[in-house]
Chain A
């Protein structure tokens, strides 16, 4: 070996040894998701092999999202996009279309779901913002969270086949934890089993089914349409007749309707966001923890 090359060889080898792990560490799968819930599940399943970003803030209505430049930038660089599907996140199509990311794998997380409230007949505008393909708030049942984890596992394995076993193990761990969690939350909610419930929007059908609550009315006369006086009066009668004690309201909807019902009937308002607070691996579970805690706590009081 000529001396010049020889003297350059060692530093080059050292440099390579330092850089190689850095390069492979940088090659995390970049995941963008419509909601924090999907993002949180992706963080759990992907572990340190993914970089996760959620678009819709939990404090704002997920049916409509104001597109900021950073969303476009993140989606234009992402490898995988997790969609809620069932016509909830229409806006994601505009972002995906506009971001010109030909290489992104768009994954519809509603795959394999047992979808509630599929309309039987023809859907038209007079029925409000009804989702023609059924209720899209499926992530609010922890059992469905496990199904999402399976979908995410498949998507991540396709994006990074070398870590497929790692993703599969995490998805399995997620399923087990969701099951154990469900048991804990159901036990906590046991005193409320069969209790009548009023919700603002149709976001809570899956949640009610998972925990044995009965939804007897909605503050919105039709999905997405603010309540009218006549509808609220009808609800007052319904709440009295059905002895409903709980009203769940999404914080981004106007509070005047629920407050009226509280004044008239003494029903207790719980303000829950349908989506979890952050995109961290534990946020999805924490969300159920805090909601069931608040509901069970309210049930104990007169």
Chain B
């Protein structure tokens, strides 16, 4: 294993495992609720906050201020998404799409004024797990710990809302409150993840393991657990391939996830016949 030989590769692996861990949980809900593109939209809203920070003079040289600004935008986005559920006549996925396009358009206008726009956008897309710094990794560990604990405590209610919202309403749950909690925790996670790993990888971590688990396992937590195992194998294989072939890490890991998904699908087929 080439991964084991290099500290930078081990850090990248650690980051990927952290992210598949926390995003695997969110992914289960996102896929079941049919709000797949909510992560792209939230990430774009967060990045809009960071772009506006750049224009206001709170750019890269003030990482804390910039992060807070993008967090504020994320919370605003979370508030909007929890409000969307009330708009019964409009499909949520369409509203999410509109949010994404709007945030992207405003980011582009902001970046036009700030130079290196196209590269920033590419960087946001592809990310750079190979160069993750120890500090960023430590932040990731803290964040995953806090959000993970919160989600584990709220897990039962969240699964109920995801799997049968009518039942949750009958039980007297205030959906907008739980939605806001969910989207806030999700938004914070996505803001960090996209900065560290890029939109492409975050999307794969979020969506592919839950899809595979629908094919291979039954029951909410069992599916989440399968997703984690799937993610770990995908990260290991993808990162190892990236090192051996000298390909960009993010896209190679995404490809490995998709190959694994196809493999899981084929296995399910074979078992049925």
The reply on B165 being an interface residue by CB < 8 A is: no
The reply on B37 being an interface residue by CB < 8 A is: no
Which one of A17-25, A51-59, A67-75, A284-292 is at the interface? A67-75
Per the CB 8 Å criterion, the residue count for chain B at the interface is: 31
Least CB distance from A72 to B in Å reads 5
Chain B's closest residue to A73 (CB) is: B6
Complex: A225 Cα to B116 Cα, angstroms: 7
Interface positions of A from 198 to 242, Cβ below 8 Å from B: 222-225
Which one of B52-60, B183-191, B209-217 is at the interface? B52-60
> A63: which B residues are within 8 A, CB to CB?
116, 119
Chain B's closest residue to A94 (CB) is: B131
The answer to whether A72 and B8 touch across the interface, beta carbons within 8 angstroms, is yes
Which one of B42-50, B69-77, B171-179, B244-252 is at the interface? B244-252
The answer to whether A94 and B133 touch across the interface, beta carbons within 8 angstroms, is yes
> A157: which B residues are within 8 A, CB to CB?
none
The reply on A66 being an interface residue by CB < 8 A is: yes
Interface positions of A from 158 to 206, Cβ below 8 Å from B: none
The reply on A293 being an interface residue by CB < 8 A is: no
- Residue interface mask B1-38, A partner, CB < 8 A = 1: 00000111101000000000000000000000000000
Total cross-chain contacts (CB, 8 A): 76
Interface positions of B from 116 to 158, Cβ below 8 Å from A: 116-117, 119, 122-123, 126, 128, 130-134
Complex: A72 Cα to B11 Cα, angstroms: 12
The answer to whether A94 and B116 touch across the interface, beta carbons within 8 angstroms, is no
> B7: which A residues are within 8 A, CB to CB?
76, 99-100
Pick from B57, B114, B126, B243 the residue with the most CB of A within 10 Å.
B114
The answer to whether B115 and A69 touch across the interface, beta carbons within 8 angstroms, is no
Task: Report, as a range, how many residues of chain A touch the other chain.
Answer: 20 to 34
The answer to whether B115 and A124 touch across the interface, beta carbons within 8 angstroms, is no
Least CB distance from B73 to A in Å reads 18
Chain B's closest residue to A61 (CB) is: B119
Chain B's closest residue to A66 (CB) is: B248
The reply on A266 being an interface residue by CB < 8 A is: no
CB contact under 8 A between A72 and B119, given known A125-B54, A125-B55, A225-B112: no
The reply on B113 being an interface residue by CB < 8 A is: yes
> B133: which A residues are within 8 A, CB to CB?
94, 97-98
Least CB distance from A147 to B in Å reads 28
Complex: A192 Cα to B32 Cα, angstroms: 69
Chain B residues within CB distance 8 Å of chain A: 6-9, 11, 54-55, 57, 59, 112-117, 119, 122-123, 126, 128, 130-134, 242-243, 246-249
Chain A residues within CB distance 8 Å of chain B: 61, 63-64, 66-70, 72-73, 76, 94-95, 97-100, 124-126, 128-130, 222-225
What are 11 sample pairs from A and B whose C-beta atoms fall under 8 A apart? A61-B119, A64-B116, A64-B122, A67-B128, A72-B130, A73-B6, A97-B131, A97-B133, A100-B134, A125-B114, A126-B114
